[in-house]
A and B are shown apart, each in its own frame.
Chain A
């Protein structure tokens, strides 16, 4: 079966750095997405990793290790508006590019 694990909740302080981990056990891996979802809003695309390593995009970075089945999303200089749910999703290429989601990590940023 396909399994994706993320912590359910995290809390961090404004201005700090937080790392949200995602581990996966899937067949036919073909990349990993991170999405951000504010309460009552649509999930929005943050990053896509298919090769090992770190992808940096402003305050957000995403890392992938295919051999370890592991990814993390790193958020720097946290702002109150970063309070949201962060969804990890894996692309399964041998199922027509199907996207399997983790349950999401609810991040609360405190002043």
Chain B
């Protein structure tokens, strides 16, 4: 496996379910990100982890709970979601804290398409 891998690729859940999205990067990067992509809207940054520590929570509702056990793995735990949470959830990684230069290009996974019924 190379790059950034996300599982599952598709997920359908009810509003009372609990599920998790998983992201794994094989690039030796130190920063990992969760983004939300809704139709016709810009990518929204949700969470940032640098060296396993959360450095940004972009006012995300508590029904989304991230977990970063090590620099290679990132999870997004989901519970009591709303239909408006249906979207493509993208994981990304970069070499260091923040894409502040061309050296810190974000590498994205293919995303997990979430549908909340």
Interface residues of A (CB under 8 A from B): 4, 8, 30-31, 33, 35, 40-45, 48, 50, 87, 89, 91, 93, 96-104
* A30 contacts B102, C-beta separation under 8 Å: no
Q: What is the minimal beta-carbon distance from A108 to any residue of chain B, in angstroms?
A: 15
Known: A43-B90, A44-B108. A93 touches B100 (CB 8 A): yes
Known: A4-B42, A87-B43. A97 touches B102 (CB 8 A): no
Range of interface residues on chain B? 20 to 34
Q: What is the minimal beta-carbon distance from A13 to any residue of chain B, in angstroms?
A: 25
The distance in angstroms between the C-alpha atoms of A40 and B100, with both chains bound, is 27
Residues of A within 8 A of B107 (CB): 42, 45
**What is the total of A-B residue contacts with beta carbons within 8 Å?**
67
Residues of B within 8 A of A43 (CB): 43, 90, 106, 108
Q: Is the interface of A mostly helix, strand, loop or mixed?
A: strand
Closest to B3 in A: A42
* B101 contacts A99, C-beta separation under 8 Å: no
* B42 contacts A103, C-beta separation under 8 Å: yes
Closest to B33 in A: A99
Q: Which of B55, B99, B111 contacts A33 (CB 8 A)?
A: B99
Q: Which of B3, B55, B106 contacts A99 (CB 8 A)?
A: B106
* B110 contacts A41, C-beta separation under 8 Å: yes
